[in-house]
Amino acid sequence: MTRLQPGQPAPEIRLLDQDQNAFQLSSLRGRTVLIYFYPKADTPGCTTQSRALQDALPELEARGVTVVGISPDEPEKLRAFADKYGLTFRLLSDPDHEVAEQWGTWGEKKMYGRSYMGIIRSMFLVDPEGNLQGVWYKISPKKTVPTALKALDQS
């Protein structure tokens, strides 16, 4: 698995969102974008992480940041997740994990003694020029927002 590094151009993302609308990362040039990859909608860690980002959304948006979440879930499941928890940012569907592989967030995981392939919870900040400003692999759901705010304070 290739890991991305700060300073590299962010790989393009073309996926459907929770409303089956096409999303393209390059359409957000000129804005800072916080992208987080999470394993599965409506599970404890992913819900904690997503709700924390929703709670911080006014502050993030005031700083010119657009939040985008990506998981292997189908758009219908993402819509149900967004509705259940009042998530107002875009959730993207990557069922074939093609984008996750390009971003280095698809890899081997271990749980209860077994190995399997899945999303490695990660967060990225993409600067207005489309380059990676910050890269965090294996980020804790509870540390996502504080880490993002600290990185934005330092930029």
Predicted confidence at residue 113, as pLDDT, reads: 87
Q: Which of 28, 35, 46, 56 is catalytic?
A: 46
Q: What angle do CA 62, 126, 123 make, to 5 degrees?
A: 90
Q: What is the pLDDT of residue 111?
A: 79
Residue 101, number of CB atoms within 10 A of its CB? 15
Q: Quick one: pLDDT at residue 110? A: 84
Cα–Cα dist 88/147, whole Å: 21
Residue 154 structure tokens = 């330092």
Q: What is the pLDDT along the chain (155 residues), one digit of tens a residue?
A: 689 999 999 999 999 999 999 999 999 999 999 999 999 999 989 999 999 999 999 999 999 999 999 999 999 999 999 999 999 999 999 999 999 999 999 998 887 888 989 999 999 999 999 999 999 999 999 999 999 999 999 88
The domain covering 14-142 belongs, at the CATH homologous superfamily level, to Glutaredoxin (3.40.30.10)
pTM here is: 0.95
Active site residue 18: no
Q: What is the b/e burial string over 15-39, where b = at least 16 CB atoms within 10 angstroms of the residue's CB?
A: bbbbeeeebebeebeeebbbbbbbb
Region at 30 (left for phi over 0; alpha for psi -120 to 50; beta for the rest): left
- What 3-state class would DSSP assign to 32? strand
CA torsion sign for 144, 96, 89, 64 is positive
* Closest by Cα among 87, 76, 66, 79 to 13: 66
